[in-house]
Each structure stands twice: as structure tokens, then as C-alpha cells.
Amino acid sequence: MESSDFDKLKLSEELQKGIRKAGFTKMTPIQEAAIPLLLSGRDVIGQAQTGTGKTAAFGIPLLSKVDPSKPTTQGVVLAPTRELAKQIAAMLRNYAKFMDIKILCIHGGGKMQRQIALLSRATHVIVATPGRLLDLIRKRGVVDLRNSKVAVIDEADKMLEMGFMIEVKGILSALPFVRQTSLWSATIGQDIIDISFRHMRHPRKVMCLQAMRQSTGYHYLGALHCPPTMHCRSLVPACSVIYYSLSEHASVLCLVAARARLRKSLLLAWTPIGHHLG
């Protein structure tokens, strides 16, 4: 059997089998940076674009924390659109293929009575759009999140654009105070930082900006862990991409200003990439 990066993680054999069945062998940079933090119980703010493997980055740790023997909702994932919610639910079901975990997707546009009927059965993980889920919590009273250990907010920047943050905050208020929360966004603005201060516990920031390989000495896409006091937005401009080059003596993160085609190196730490910087 081909060795896998995921084999070194402390996951159940059933979850490992599902990951292998999904064809995963090598972690992407965002997975390598975020999964160990989430498995250790830390809150995480992830700055990552589509196609970086972020669904597995939050989905695998979420599934690892679910106890199938308990017929309660133990995790909730919020997505801005029903298309994304369906996609996330399908991927989680793939990872949990050999686990006795029930995953339900709830979204606007679906038949309310059918969704209420499905919620009458044991559901371990709910993937939902914010408006429909808050309706089912407050108006219908058919969703109980008091036993949820994990909350995930995906594409938070789109949530803001679409005006869903009131609903998101309402859902978070229905969750236990002691929980793990991860927030994922392509951009990290002040509004998202404010949300993290209110609803997360000392989150670690993980950045991974996608870029094409360039013919420089810094050619491997890397991931950056920022201390809670560091504002990643001011550190890395929107037009930049992150590369790193491992040498015998140091790990150097290189910020490449793509628009100006300028190369500027910034020595951030003398520790290997993937270790927390501060």
C-alpha cells in the first residue's frame, strides 16, 4: 500500500480508510499547516482560496471529533450558498464512508418539511446555509446545537458580501461557549478579524495563497502560521503569493509582488515551515 502523508495523523482506521478511498495521499500546504492545529483543539483562521484543499483541512479534523455512538449533532459547517453546502457535504461523506456518521445538508430552496423530517433522525454533522439553519433553530425549534463540539464558517468573505453575518452570529450563539471554531476566507478584512475576536478563542492564523510555479529559487508553495498578535493582512498584500525555500541553515519565506514582478525576501524565522512562528 502506498504511504500517505495522512498516515502520520492520529485518526481512526475508518477515517484513514475513507481518506485513502478518496484518493488522498499527499497533503496540500494548507492541510499540512491547519490539520495538526485543529486536531490539537486550537481555533483556526484560514486564509485560502478555492482549490487549495481547505475542505479536507477542516473536514478531516471535524470528523475525527465525532462520536458515532452519540445520537446528537456534534459539528456544524456553514456555507454561503447551497451549491457549496452540497459540495462540502458530499466531500465529508466521502471521508466518512467507512464511519457510522450521519451528515445532513440543509439549505434554502429545499423543501422545509422534508428537511424537518430528516432532522428527526440522529444527525452527527449538519452542513447548512445560514438563513435556513437559523430558521430551523429559532422558528421551528427542530435543531439542537447544544452538544456541538465544532463549528466551521467557510467562505466568510462571501458571507459578508451576501449579508449573512447576522444569521451566522445567531447560529454561533446557539452553540456551546466551549467549542472549536474555524473560519475560512480568501481575504481577511477587519470585519472578519472582529468576528474572530468575538466568537473564537485565541485563534491561530494559517495563510496559504495559491500561485503558479515560477522560475525562481523560491518555487514551492508554502503555508504560514501567524501569531494571534500579527495582522496577516498587513504582512502579505493581496497581490502577493507565498513561496518558501528550505536551505541547510534557515527557512525563508519569500513574498513575491506579482503585479510588479518584484522579488523581495523576508526572513521570518529560523524554524522549519509548518512550525508556529511565535
Higher pLDDT residue, 57 or 196? 57
Higher pLDDT residue, 212 or 22? 22
pLDDT band at 243; cut points 50, 70, 90: very low
The CA distance from 203 to 143, in Å, is 27
Amino acid at 66: V
DSSP line for 48-109: E-TTSSHHHHHHHHHHHT--TTS-S--EEEE-SSHHHHHHHHHHHHHHTTTS---EEEE-TT
Average pLDDT (136-154) is: 96
Q: How far apart are the first and last CA of the chain?
A: 38
Output the pTM of the full model: 0.77
Q: Select the CATH number that applies to the domain covering 5-208 from these four: 2.90.10.10, 3.40.640.10, 3.40.50.300, 3.30.2350.10.
A: 3.40.50.300
Domain range annotation of the chain: 5-208, 209-271
Q: What is the DSSP letter of 244?
A: E
Q: Take residue 109 and report the three cell numbers written for it.
A: 430552496
pLDDT band at 3; cut points 50, 70, 90: confident
Taking the CA atoms of residue 253, residue 254, residue 255 and residue 257 in that order, the dihedral angle to the nearest 10 degrees is -170
Average pLDDT (93-116) is: 95
Continuous segment of H or E residues that includes residue 263: strand 262-269
The angle subtended at Cα 16 by Cα 12 and Cα 20, nearest 5°, is 170
pLDDT band at 220; cut points 50, 70, 90: very low
